[in-house]
Copies of this chain bind each other. A is one copy, B any other.
Amino acid sequence: MEATEVKMRQNEIIQPLLTDLYQLTMAYAYWKSGKVDDTAVFDLFFRKNPFSGEFTIFAGLEQCIKFLFNFRYSDSDITYLKQILPPYVEEEFFRYLKNLTVEDVTLFAIPEGSVVFPRVPLLRVEGPLIVVQLLETTFLNLINYSSLIATNAARFRMAAGKRIKLLEFGLRRAQGPDGGLSASKYAYLGGFDGTSNVLAGKLFHIPVKGTHAHAYISSFSTLADLKTRDLAVYDQNGSDLIESRDFVETCIKRRDQLATLLGILLQEANDGELAAFISYAMAFPDGFTALVDTYEVLSWSGETPSQRYISEPRLHYRSGLLNFCAVAVALSDFGYRPIGIRLDSGDLAYLSNRARDAFRKIAEELTIPWFAQLSIVASNDINEETILSLNDQHHQIDCFGIGTHLVTCQKQPALGCVYKLVEINKQPKIKLSEDLEKVTIPGRKDIYRLYGSDGHALIDLMQKHGEPPPLAGNRVLCRHPFLESKRAYVNPARVEPLLHIYWQNGRCCQPLPSMEQLRHRVQHQLGTIRQDHKRNLNPTPYKVSVSDSLYSYLHKLWLQNAPIGELS
């Protein structure tokens, strides 16, 4: 049991009071109205895929389960609630809250890491009305952003392709400390390869990556700033240390030689930068990546950036490139293998191609074959469209470091999950709205995904709970939930029930997958979705349908509930 408690620990701010006050005022009003024994079913779902896309990655479920596991009002919570609720709220209600548990809650959910679509319940939450109502805000908070960022990450992954490494660099621009942690975690789940966020690495076992910043380079002015010059030489087999030699001298010699080879004037190369690269390489001889700055010497700048001339980002970049190559070749002389460069400004496609040209030339001329494959990281304000556009330009980038656009989901910073009552005391409830999009599908529902014979998902089908499940090889009528004329017979090769019980009788009743399993699930799930649903430009909507029986049930209820207009 103690092991479970450790496993179920989470950030202490995820607690029952992390909710909207109206959940508690409603709880009191329900309690006061004698609805303590009422039971309810709520669906948690979203209405529209984010980022103008046609799919969403569901994430945040594990956090919801941990929230349930830890759900109890503390004495200090009760004391606080007594302060903020009106004085006439009965003492007995606070005792009720203090003893309230989530033992009678049953949580059905689609597995975390699944590809999901609008209207389909991600969670179906059943239990005492008051208790399930009290879970609303926290569930929404835990799922909305997690799913949004996982979806965003998955989209970046698709844009970049499988070969390219994707690193999340967004902590400094994230929406608060936990915004940063959630971003790192769910970006990894959605398909990133690592993060710069050390705490995220520690807490969630995510690979942590990083190089150095411009400040590191600025902190050196001349080669005289180098206080140590010697570096241990590895032998040709790369295993044993032989001796220490003057590394700085080798770097300078190599730079003289490479300047000619690369056609860069020595005067173009900055000595402070070389000193910085040398010192960093001496600290991380096996992990040397250099930030190669660009400085546009040919621009005449007016007051605003839009007025500046655009031309080849030439000189300063050439300094960085030459200095990097000098240190990298010197490392090779000493038996080490550097990693590569990071570009953080300028025309990334152009610069990556020029850098690759230089690497290839050196590989050939100096017979260092791996030099041609040195890694090129790009990290300047990258979004999904930048990557797609770079792809068109045939860049030579191996890795993108992505910050602001990933973590703040700039393109659409919120996923609009909602939590709607669909049944009370076994009576179905429908929410009507002027927008068809906002009309809810009433009642407890079972959800199936129907697959075609090629393994791709064809359609999601919602049925009234208890209807016989669709069977592989049997034709089933799938209807648009609202438009009478839109329907199709589907003959699935495989049928997958989407909702599973995750919480019942006060216990989590599924094994919670590891982060690696979740990552794998995301990519596997994306593989089951047709390409036209996933493409960036004008993707085809995936169909979500209802059974014939649910269609009739829904429309009967709709008519019963809709007031009749009277024109005069």
Q: List 17 A-B contacts (CB under 8 A).
A: A17-B202, A19-B199, A22-B196, A22-B210, A24-B210, A25-B284, A32-B282, A86-B284, A133-B215, A140-B172, A140-B173, A141-B172, A178-B178, A179-B182, A298-B565, A319-B563, A408-B408
Among A115-123, A221-229, A543-551, the stretch that binds chain B is: A221-229
Q: Answer yes or no: A504 CB below 8 A from chain B CBs.
A: no
Q: Which B residues touch A221, using CB under 8 A?
A: 424, 427
Q: Is the CB of B214 within 8 A of A346?
A: no
Q: Which B residues touch A178, using CB under 8 A?
A: 11, 13, 176-179
- Closest residue of chain B to A314 (Cβ to Cβ) is B565
Q: Answer yes or no: A316 CB below 8 A from chain B CBs.
A: yes
Q: Is the CB of A202 within 8 A of B25?
A: no
Q: Residues on A close to B: CB < 8 A?
A: 11-15, 17-26, 28-35, 38, 40, 42, 77, 80-81, 84, 86, 88, 129, 133, 136-138, 140-142, 144-146, 169, 171-183, 196-199, 201-202, 208-216, 218-219, 221, 225-228, 265, 268, 270, 279-280, 282-287, 294-299, 301, 303-305, 308, 313-316, 319, 345-346, 404, 408-410, 413-414, 416-417, 419-421, 424, 427, 429, 431-437, 482-483, 562-567
Q: Is the CB of B435 within 8 A of A308?
A: yes
Q: Is the CB of B17 within 8 A of A199?
A: yes
Within the complex, the shortest CB–CB distance from A425 to chain B, in Å, comes to: 9
Within the complex, the shortest CB–CB distance from A539 to chain B, in Å, comes to: 16
Q: Is the CB of B295 within 8 A of A137?
A: no
Q: Which B residues touch A435, using CB under 8 A?
A: 301, 305, 308
Q: Which B residues touch A313, using CB under 8 A?
A: 434
Q: Which B residues touch A214, using CB under 8 A?
A: 420-421, 431
Q: How far is the CA of A265 from the CA of B565 in the complex (A)?
A: 11
Q: Is the CB of B197 within 8 A of A20?
A: yes
Known A26-B216, A33-B282, A284-B25: A180·B141 in contact at CB below 8 Å:
yes
Within the complex, the shortest CB–CB distance from A80 to chain B, in Å, comes to: 5
The 5 closest A-B pairs by CB, nearest first: A178-B178, A21-B210, A22-B210, A34-B227, A296-B434
Q: Is the CB of A33 within 8 A of B172?
A: no
Q: How far is the CA of A131 from the CA of B228 in the complex (A)?
A: 21
Please pick, from B80, B136, B176, B419, the residue contacting A141 in the complex, using a CB distance under 8 A: B176
Q: Is the CB of A173 within 8 A of B284?
A: no
Known A38-B219, A86-B284, A196-B21: A182·B175 in contact at CB below 8 Å:
yes
